[in-house]
Amino acid sequence: MPSQKEIRSRISSTISTQQITKAMKLVSATKLRKASDAIVRMRPYAEKLKGIMANLQDSIDDPQLAVYFQPRKVKKVLIVVISSDRGLCGAFNSNVIKRTRLILTEKYAEQTKAGNVTLLCIGKKGGEFLSRLKYTVDSTYMQALTVLDAEKAFEIGEHILQSFRDGSHDQVELVFNQFKNAATQILTNEVILPVIPQVKTATANAGRLNDYIFEPNKVQILQDLIPRSVKTQVYRAMLDSLASEHGARMVAMDKATENAGELLFSLRLAYNQARQAAITREISEIVGGVAALEG
């Protein structure tokens, strides 16, 4: 059995750890509220943008727009991996990394073997880990989540669009955690380029008027709208990931605080047992000494 001094030392360190995890939980809860508000405000805009795209997609056969919609033979792939800058958030980062490696080994096995897959990592944890695995990692925007705003996200979106337009990559895919609530994150991967036209249902067509007057015209509107839509998807994914990170960290720190409490209970019980054993031993020694003197 450990000595009383050792148990006291463990109790002290556990209390300190519990205070840290409790504080981190409160900080994450505060940040989560702000991040979740941002993604909730962003989603209606993104959905409306998709609706406008659906209204205008009849013009996608125009040669000026073919670069965004025309499927290519997938030789070079860009995967945008969104993780976090810090740890202590449960399986948040490991899930993203596992999904990325699964995509590399199954979906893009041929391109990976040929060295034609580039990982654009947003977030240091994913970028550093995947770099150690000897994958081709673009770390240009690895710290973009430090101060996240629309301008930075749109800059990343323009970088992605440019690499697709100039033929550097034939397909672009996002891997990120989609925020559902504080306790649930949905691991998601989706192709954002080339743009996949939405399928119009009969119900949707019945409720949509087709006699709009477009100014300047559909093609010019789409030339601006398609890049904006891609950039918005990148921004939405970054907001989703940030909110998911804070939710995952809050849950992880809450569980860590709870586990620290259980450990403290066990340590205090062990300390009391050790203390009682020491007292009993001392009494036995005193009784033995008295008996020896009387004898």
Half-sphere exposure of 192 (CA within 13 A, CB side): 30
Per annotation, catalytic residue among 89, 97, 119, 122:
89
Q: Is 89 a catalytic residue?
A: yes
Give Cβ neighbours of residue 142 (< 8 Å, ≥ 6 apart).
121, 122, 123, 124, 127
* Cα–Cα dist 272/279, whole Å: 10
* Environment class of 224 (CB within 10 Å of its CB; exposed 0-12, middle 13-18, buried 19+): exposed
Write out the catalytic residue numbers: 89
